[in-house]
Amino acid sequence: MKNFFLLLACMAVCGSFARAQQPLKLMTYNIRNANGLDNVRNYQRIANVIVNAAPDVVAIQETDSMTARSENRYVLGEIAERTQMKAFFAPAIEYDGGKYGIGLLSRQTPLQIRTLPLPGREEKRTLLLAEFEDFVYCCVHLSLTEEDRMESLRVLTEVASGYDKPFFLAGDMNDEPGSRFTAELQKNFRLLSNPKHFTFPASAPDRTIDYIAVAKKSDKGFVCLSSKVVDEPVASDHRPVQVELRMAVKAEKIFRTKPYLQNPTDGGMTVMWETNVPTYSWVEYGTDTTQLQRVRTLINGQTLCNNLMHKIRIDGLQPGQKYYYRLCSQEMLLYKAYQKAFGNTARSPFYEFTLPDPAGDSFTALVFNDLHQRGETFRALCAQVSDVSPDFVVFNGDCIDDPASHEQATYFISELTKGIHGSRVPAFYIRGNHEIRNAYSVGLRDHFDYVGGKTYGAFNWGDTRIVMLDCGEDKEDTHPEYSGLNDFTELRHEQVDFLKQELSSKAFKKANKRILLHHIPLYGCNKNLCADLWMPLLEKAPFDICINAHTHRYAYHPKGELGNNFPVVIGGGYQMDSATVMVLEKRKDSLRIRVLNTKGKVLLDVEL
């Protein structure tokens, strides 16, 4: 239950955008007033055809309103009720005590509806135009007379010229491919439906007279994914035509998260972010905002693109130099072997970061642990250190609690990023046992750029060496709750070899100060499954401090109190009355640690 409301929130946010990102389906259907080729008027049958195809908007031709032949029924309204769509009727003529014309069915309410008369000698014709936020959809049923169709085309072209958004034209145009009319149509409109797919007569189609097209002036910001004629031989004398489009999102809707910085080591910085749609992404950076370089991710010669998660490494940076950077993501509407289509490009504001100087002797760092996705607790802790300007931040395990989905992970990482200003302050994420649990636990690593590509490692911040270990789970691999899916033996032994190499390395030996970080304590905890392997190596290791978590109880153990060769500080839990944040301050030869609770009370302030 503790993550229930968090999950609801992230599902609501992600779900609303997912619905907005569904393909746009446009249909045109001459319904013959719902009279089938079997001479049966059946509104439900027409409605079933539409419901099964699931269009967003339907251009309807040949529909009555309150005529005697339709028993004084509003035909379009009957179908709208059965399809749960909104109806918009445009009468063309008075007929049999009522009106006859064309209509539109839509899932969304248009911004506006317009009707314009069109020429027709055998009967008057009309244009029904519906403007939506991102496109215009027009319904026509053109004259049987060629001269009238040509004059109608002039009117339609003029109307289309007044719109910059995609202008779609659909309907029964009463002419076939290769005619003078369709040749003239295609000078200013591009056919989206396939003219080789016959639409009439419905029982055995042998010609095409129903089309969906787009004005070439506004033929941008979308890609046509498919076109089809629906196989319906009886409900009307025409078969419906449908196209499926992917519309470009607006640039301001492309970014899903703000950037967060990772792995500020070896003269480089990793920038990570997510987008709502598949994109081609890159980072522009420089020592000022006027002279920018561009970097993207290449894998064996190919650009990593058409994805939602973005991890771009900037290498060759100068230590101690401030850099400005911005994110750039261009939506990819289509990615095929021989065809690519792009949408809008989003560019973020400029952010900044500074790499540590190897010769530096000072830094400030924050350490959080065991947040268990309690946003309120995290925000309370951040408030207590709002006057601190950290150079980096460590999340020492069990911060992202039992990750069940990508959405859950993204939601709380975004919360953490906001709290620590992660667009300019890099963070290191150490796994706790709860990051290892649940369905998305393996996928969670895609959200981070671990030092050296592993969940454990070491790095220098100036003249201080920082070593991070991964303890794995807190129970034996054979525990029933793991269902035989865990085996941390190799990981723990790998770190034995890693520790041996690290403790004998020049970087470790030359360091002015040495800090050890891992989630489950070796001292002050009932059981750590790594203890027998790691403690023989650490009992003489000259660390200045070891920072742990896991127990949900703040504790400080000076050197030697529990047989520990270095001071040990254990962070608190996730409840408001037990949570802690640690402030590490290195100033030349001095290393100081402070521990504060959610009310700002200083639980520990010691110079090491």
Extended beta strands in 301-438, E state: 302-303, 307-314, 322-336, 339-347, 351-354, 362-368, 392-396, 427-430
**Residues contacting 182, CB < 8 A, separation 6+:** 173, 175, 176, 195
Q: Are 432 and 370 in contact (CB under 8 A)?
A: yes
CA-CA distance, 549 to 509, in Å (whole number)? 26
Confidence at 21, pLDDT banded by 50, 70, 90: low
Q: Are 128 and 90 in contact (CB under 8 A)?
A: yes
pLDDT-above-70 percentage for the chain: 97
Q: pLDDT tens, 290-309? A: 999 999 999 999 999 999 99
**Residues contacting 511, CB < 8 A, separation 6+:** 460, 463, 464, 465
Q: pLDDT tens, 486-536? A: 999 999 999 999 999 999 999 999 999 999 999 999 998 877 899 999 999
Q: Are 113 and 88 in contact (CB under 8 A)?
A: yes
| Nearest one of 548, 536, 532 to 503, comparing CA atoms | 536
Q: pLDDT tens, 434-465? A: 999 999 999 999 999 999 999 999 999 999 99
CA-CA distance, 569 to 582, in Å (whole number)? 9
Q: How far is CA 574 from CA 8, 55, 325, 376, in A?
A: 20, 48, 34, 10
Q: CB-hemisphere CA count at 13 Å for 483?
A: 2
Q: pLDDT tens, 251-292? A: 999 999 999 999 999 999 999 999 999 999 999 999 999 999
What b-and-e string marks burial along 463-476, b requiring 16 or more CB atoms within 10 Å of the CB? Answer: bbbbbbbbbbbbee
Q: Could you tell me how many residues make up the chain?
A: 608
- Could you tell me the maximum CA-CA distance found in the chain, to the nearest angstrom? 103
Across the range 467-481, mean pLDDT stands at 94
Q: Are 138 and 153 in contact (CB under 8 A)?
A: no
Model confidence pTM above 0.85: yes
Q: Are 391 and 461 in contact (CB under 8 A)?
A: yes
**Residues contacting 204, CB < 8 A, separation 6+:** 233
| Nearest one of 325, 365, 330 to 344, comparing CA atoms | 330
Q: Are 593 and 603 in contact (CB under 8 A)?
A: no
What does DSSP say about strands 351-354 and 339-347: parallel, antiparallel, or unpaired? unpaired
Confidence at 150, pLDDT banded by 50, 70, 90: very high
Lowest mean pLDDT among 20-29, 228-237, 322-331: 20-29
CA-CA distance, 583 to 572, in Å (whole number)? 14
Across the range 231-238, mean pLDDT stands at 98
Could you say which DSSP state residue 317 is in?
Answer: P
CA quadruple 560, 568, 452, 372: dihedral sign: positive
CA-CA distance, 160 to 214, in Å (whole number)? 9
- Is the pLDDT at 3 greater than 80? The verdict is no
For the chain, the average pLDDT equals 95
Residue 93 tokens, joined: 């003529």
Residue 20, pLDDT score: 43
Across the range 420-446, mean pLDDT stands at 97
- Is the pLDDT at 9 greater than 60? The verdict is no
- Is the pLDDT at 4 greater than 70? The verdict is no
H or E element in which residue 455 lies:
none
Residue 149 tokens, joined: 């169709």
H or E element in which residue 301 lies:
none
Residue 18, pLDDT score: 45
Residue 221 tokens, joined: 């910001």
Q: Are 238 and 210 in contact (CB under 8 A)?
A: yes
CA-CA distance, 294 to 31, in Å (whole number)? 55
Across the range 312-326, mean pLDDT stands at 96
Q: Are 152 and 125 in contact (CB under 8 A)?
A: yes
Residue 22, pLDDT score: 85
> Please, where are the H alpha helices in 220-260?
none
Residue 203, pLDDT score: 97
* Domains in the chain, CATH or no CATH each: 19-247 (3.60.10.10), 251-353 (2.60.40.10), 358-607 (3.60.21.10)
Across the range 415-437, mean pLDDT stands at 97
Q: Are 210 and 228 in contact (CB under 8 A)?
A: no
Residue whose pair of structure tokens reads 């789970």 in the numeric block: 473
